[in-house]
Each structure stands twice: as C-alpha cells, then as structure tokens.
Amino acid sequence: MKIIIAGDGKVGLALTRLLSEEGHDLVTIDSNREVLERNTQLYDVMAVAGNCATMATLREANVEQADVLIAATSADEINLLCCLTARKLNPSLHTIARVRSPEYIEQLYLMREDFGLSMIINPEREAAKEIFRLLKIPGFLKRETFAKGRVEIVELRVMERSLLENVILNHLPHVLNGCKVLVCAVIRDGKAFIPTGDTMLRRGDHIYVTAPVAVLSELVKQLGIPQKKIRHAMLIGGGRVSYYLAQSLIGAGVRVKIIEQRADRCLTLANMLPRASIIEADGSSQSVLDNEGVGETDALVTLTGLDEQNVIMSLYGSAEGVPHVITKVNRMESTGMLENLSVGSVVSPKELCCAHIVQYVRAMQNQTGAAVTLHRIADGRAEALEFVVNKNSRYVGEPLKRLRLKPNILISCITHKGRTILPDGNSAFEMGDTVIVVTSRETPILQFNDIFA
C-alpha cells in the first residue's frame, strides 16, 4: 500500500522501520531536512520537506494516490489539520491522527467524521490502559489480548528457585497441577525462539504463555505469585499517563498518590483528580520516597519524562519490597536493555502507539485471510497473530500433527464456538474458528495460509 507518514520523529521513524519491513510504499514528511536525509539513508522511502498540514506539501507527497496517511507530529493541532486537509484532497484516504491532549479526546470522538479521521491514537492513554490491565492481575510483565478478550498471551520471568526453573515443557501441566497453558515463545540470552515440548526453562528466561483469561488467576496461584489486591498505588510523575491511569485506578477503588515536582502541574492535577493525593516533591529523591511510604505501597509506577530516573526509582522500589513495579520508558530501543533488571513491567507509550497503527494497517490490507489482530511480543522479536478460518483456508479439519508448518511457527490457540482450545497434535481448526499463531518473524506472515510450508 501507499502510506504517508507525517512527522519523522521517534514515532515516525519507528513506523517507517516497521512498515518498510512489510513492503509498503512509504513517503515521509517533515520540516527538518537533516532528519529526512538521515532516514532516507536508512530506509527505502521518499522524503518530502515541508509543513504536512498544507495542500502544497501533501500534493507533493502524492496524497491523491495514497491509501493511508499517519499524522504523527508532536503537535495535535497539526495532526488534525493534516488529516482534515488530506481527506479533502483524497476522500477515500484512511487517516490516522496521533492526539495526546486530554482536552481534545472526548470531543474528537464526537467530531471524528468532521475531521475525516479513520483512527485516533493517544499514546499516553494506551499506556495507561496497559498499566491498568497489568495491575488488575499483578504478576505478569505484559498481557496481550486475543479472541475478543477470551485469550491472553502473558509474559513471565523465570526466577531463581521458582516453580518453573529447570522444567521441561512437556512436564509443565503436572508442575502446574493441571492448570493448562501453553508456552509459545522464550527469550534467552537476548534471543527469541519458539520452544518445543523438550525445551527446558532456565533461570532468567522470559516466557510468553498462552492461556484462557479464566485460567490466569489459577496460573498466578499455582506459581505462588502474591495475589493481594492492590489498594494503594504510588505514581511518580504527573504527566498525561499519570492522569489517565489515576482516573482508572480511582474508579476501581484504589487509593492513588501522585508525586510531581512542578507546582503548577500539581494544582492542575488537584483540580482534575480531586480524589487523588497530590504531593509536590521530587520523586527521584530517596528521602521523599521514604517519607511518602514507598515501602508500604502495593504498586509503584514510575512515569516521569526521564527514562534514567524511572529506572532508578523502580530499582529502589523493588529493593524496598514493593510487590508490583511498572516502569515507563520513552526510548523504544531501551526496553530490551532492561530485561534482566528489577524494574518490573516495562511500558513504552510510543511502542504501543506504533503497534496499534501497524495492526490497523494490516487489518486494512484485509485480503481474505489477513490477520485480524497483531501483537509484537518478546520485545518485537516475535509476533502473535489472530486469524479467522474461512473457505480459502487450507487444511480445515485436518489434525495439526499432519500439517507442515514453516520453521519457527506455532499454533498456540484455537477458539471454536466460544470454547478455547490449547491444541495438541490431534486438534484441528474448523470453518469460523479463531486461530492464534506465534512466529519469530523470520518469515513475514500476512495471511493465514502463509504459515504452511
């Protein structure tokens, strides 16, 4: 497809990398010529220098022939005007706007058609949603949802002397007392792979487990992970993610304390979140954290604008025995470096934003058999894709043991008439079933039939 990416900052660059890997015809627009020149040396893209909200620049980018426009500049107003102008020039264009301001979000959903928006993406709101989901069932580093919320792939770390250390996967059901789950991917020594039944889990492994949602609580129980309900959460940093997250936590009955250094922002938060406790202080100070009771809180979420501060505060929280720690990082390339540090779950708003946009673009391609859901797992080293079996799908009704799949591909779940099946060799998929496939990304999988050798 022909895709225009307006704004060549960190999000724009990440989208350029991800979408160019999938063979799309890309045009990037930015007012900074040096940034454009650097990125054209990295990727096979056309670059246009100029203001992406003007007709002249959009025409130079051939907006009339484009299929998708992604407005990802740092200014909400520019993104909205860019989409509005582009849609006037090309009424059939799909437009995606990155909008971050809480003041705009509610009215934009009402005025979506007026602005010609196909999709609105708010990175901070998506990050807050992800953090809230992680805190609802503490113990998982990440959670990805499939099959209309019936199935999840969750990330766990194999700790020293944990129940999972040195377990061969064929023996896992016995170790978990019959709790049926499927390990679909493993990161070991920085490399991702699709395991077999003979794979032995080692200390330090990050594993990705497919499980029905109804089984997650039992899995946590069997692994001996503390299931104490979160009653108090401490958020360090009072930015947009903190605001959205505090709203959700307060609505769920959690007492929220936000530590923010800027006096004016504290006043704003106090007005917007009257049920939260707002502390004007430097959350990166050990004495402040101690005085505010970091060791007694149920959850610590570090949300400042500085990755280094967030990592240090999360490390301190873990050392003080906080049961649940979540760290926000802004630099997407930093997430993999934090795998072996005690910083809890790592959430990147920009990474979530890119994942949602790529998922939308893939769904747009929707030739019959295309993935309806896509999640990058294992820090982007693997993908989990959800397909619906249709009349063009191969091997309908055939036992999985008879199928020849491409290397590093695993069918991790089948949903049949609302029933979730973690498959074995005798399982089969039928017309209308939902199938979740995990791949190490060595071979691009765009349609269901691409998984077969």
Q: Topology of domain 367-451, per CATH?
A: Alpha-Beta Plaits (3.30.70)
* Nearest-angstrom CA–CA distance, 296 and 299: 9
Class of the domain covering 2-121: alpha beta
Contact 53, 85 (CB under 8 A): yes
Do the Cβ atoms of 96 and 68 come closer than 8 Å?
yes
**Whole-structure pTM value:** 0.83
pLDDT in tens, 295-343: 999 999 999 999 999 999 999 999 999 999 999 998 866 666 777 788 9
Could you tell me if 87 and 111 are in contact, meaning their C-beta atoms sit under 8 angstroms apart?
no
CB atoms < 10 A from the CB of 430, how many? 12
- Which pLDDT score, from 0 to 100, does residue 148 have? 81
Contacts of 272 (CB under 8 A, 6+ apart): 243
**Residue 205 in tokens:** 């492994």
Token reading at 104: 């705009």
Is residue 427 pLDDT above 90, yes or no? Answer: yes
What are the two backbone dihedrals, phi and then psi, of residue 165, each rounded to the nearest 5 degrees?
Answer: -65, 130
Q: Say which DSSP state 451 is in.
A: G
pLDDT, tens only, 92-111: 999 999 998 888 877 887 78
What's the length of the chain?
453
Query: How far apart (Å, rounded) are the C-alpha atoms in residues 366 and 231?
Result: 43
Where in the chain is CATH 3.40.50.720? 2-121, 232-322
**Greatest mean pLDDT among 10-24, 146-160, 291-305, 439-453:** 291-305
Give Cα separations from 48 to 59, 63, 153, 360 (angstroms). 10, 12, 40, 24
Q: Are strands 255-260 and 232-236 parallel, antiparallel or unpaired?
A: parallel
Please state which of the four CATH numbers 1.10.3720.10, 3.30.110.30, 1.10.150.300, 3.30.70.1450 is assigned to the domain occupying 128-222. Answer: 3.30.70.1450
**110 in the Ramachandran plot: left (φ > 0), alpha (ψ -120 to 50) or beta?**
alpha
Domain boundaries 232-322, corresponding CATH code: 3.40.50.720
- Three-state SS across 318-361? HHCCCCEEEEECCCHHHHHHHCCCCCCEEECHHHHHHHHHHHHH
- The number of beta carbons lying within 10 Å of the beta carbon of residue 427 is 15
